[in-house]
Amino acid sequence: MGNNRQVILKIFRLDKNIYNELASEVSNFQTAIAIYISGSLFSGLAAFNLLRNSLVYLEENLGLIVDILPVQTVNEIINLISELEKLDSQQLFGLLTSFLISSFVSGFVGVGLVYLLLTRFFRKETDFRQVGIIYGFSNIPVFLNGVIFFTSSIPLQIFLIIGTAIFALVCLGSGLKQVYLLRNIEAFLLVVVSGFGSSLFSQVI
């Protein structure tokens, strides 16, 4: 796979040939799975950290907003704060495990949808592992969510979670475009269908 640092830098720069290099080596499939699972774990922890910090902020400023929000909303916030405080390490581990399983299954579905569209609709020659490599390595930007654990700024945390998710989709589109010689609209279609399809499936399960 070459120098890991160079690979990461090329992905962030949207290098025009990096995904061709990665997809040409079948051995990168295991690495892509590891990246996807690790990235999902990072995203889950980051989202939980944002939720916790937001609830702590609301708790500290509850007196200022109690007259603004409806009574029902205030009660829901208080209940959420109470439930979060009761959450122990075992329950947190269970929630993260469920989140990882759901993320892995939805990712599998996303790869499957892209594979089916490429082979059936766009008539491209590919295999499931090659699509999985692109899907996994395009998830590298979500590791920037690690910054969230070193800042208490809620706006910055929100920006990072949303920004890294969007950039990961951009990387996915870029990878699909360069490996399968797609037009922009075709790559966009694959990303949208994959995203919506996997999201709907994860809600079902």
Which own/partner contact pairs does 160-169 have at CB distance under 8 Å and 24+ positions apart? 160/46, 161/43, 161/46, 161/47, 161/50, 164/43, 165/43, 167/141, 168/39, 168/138, 168/139, 168/140, 168/141, 168/142, 169/138, 169/195
**Tens digits of residue pLDDT in 92-102:** 788 888 888 88
CB 201 within 8 A of CB 143: no
Gap between the Cα atoms of 22 and 1, Å rounded: 7
User: Could you tell me what percent of the chain has a pLDDT over 70?
Assistant: 97
* Residue 18, pLDDT score: 95
Asked if the model's pLDDT at residue 201 lies above 90, the reply is: no
The pLDDT assigned to 2 comes to: 47
pLDDT at residue number 174 = 96
pLDDT, tens digit (0-9, with 9 covering 90-100), for 104-122: 989 999 999 999 999 999 9
Q: At what angle do helices 154-180 and 28-60 cross, to 10 degrees?
A: 160
Distance CA 137, CA 130 (A): 11
pLDDT of 161 > 90? The answer is yes
Q: Which pLDDT value is given to residue 3?
A: 76
Mean pLDDT for 132-150 is 94
Long-range CB contact pairs, 188-195, < 8 A, 24+:
189/117, 190/114, 190/117, 190/118, 193/113, 193/114, 193/117, 194/110, 194/111, 194/113, 194/114, 195/110, 195/169
Lowest mean per-residue pLDDT among 48-52, 124-128, 177-181: 48-52
**Of the listed ranges 96-105, 151-160, 196-205, the one predicted with least confidence:** 196-205
Q: What pLDDT does residue 15 have?
A: 94
State how far the Cα of 48 lies from the Cα of 55, in Å rounded to an integer: 11
53-74 tens-digit pLDDT = 888 887 787 777 777 778 788 7
What angle, rounded to 10 degrees, do the helices at 89-116 and 28-60 form? 130
Give the pLDDT score at 196: 86
Position 112 scores a pLDDT of 94
Answer yes or no: is pLDDT of 205 > 60.
no
Q: Given this model, what pLDDT does residue 73 score?
A: 81
